[in-house]
Amino acid sequence: MQRSLTKYRIGLGIIGLFTLVILAVVLVQASATRQDQKTEDSANNIATELNNYNGYSLTGPAPNSLPEAGINNAPSTISYTKTGRHSYRFCVTYKLTSNDFSASSLAQNVVARGVGAGTNYNANQYYQGSYSYSYLYINPIHHKGVNCQDVSGYTANFNSSI
């Protein structure tokens, strides 16, 4: 009887081993994910303050530095550089890549295509170039490393000499 159960024990053991590997991967990434989450929260708070400082169309001049806009507690993973009177570059450094991939959505979509209800599911990947907006937007989809956004006001295009 024990022999006939051995093959089932081996199969279940393989699945258990796979589970342990996934557990190790998740635990290794836990601290980096927590750090990235703190960075993203700080970046969102700074973005709100910067957008309120100059208006969402950057009508006013960009601040020379973050402390000038009243932001004194920016973490080292966030950098601000003024590139013009009405433009600046905002960079955030992440430890891990983040996208909106969802395995359950993917599986549902594969099966749903069988009943004619699926879509061309593709997880949104981070756009490798830098974004350019008239206001600062922190994208939750990002890649590992430095992610920058260039912000320039509409008035900068017309009154660049001011």
Residues that bind another protein (CB under 8 A): 1, 4-5, 8-9, 12, 15-16, 18-19, 22-23, 25-26, 29-30, 32-33, 96-99, 101-104, 106-107, 110-116, 118, 120-123
Looking at the Cβ atoms of 111 and 146, the one nearer to another protein is: 111
CB of 97 to another protein, least distance (A): 6
For residues 141 and 124, what is the distance between their CA atoms, to the nearest angstrom? 8
Q: Which is nearer to another protein, 32 or 146 (CB)?
A: 32
The C-alpha atoms of residue 120 and residue 134 are separated, in whole angstroms, by: 31
Q: How far apart are CA 33 and CA 37, in angstroms?
A: 6
Query: Residue 129 CB, nearest distance to another protein (Å)?
Result: 20
Strand pairing class (131-133; 145-152):
parallel
| Residue whose CB is less far from another protein, 114 or 129 | 114
Amino acid occupying residue 130: S
Q: How far is the CB of 111 from another protein (least distance, A)?
A: 5
Nearest to 131 by CA among 143, 120, 122, 115: 143
Measured from the CB atom, the residue of 4 and 161 that comes closer to another protein is: 4
d(CA 38, CA 81): 21
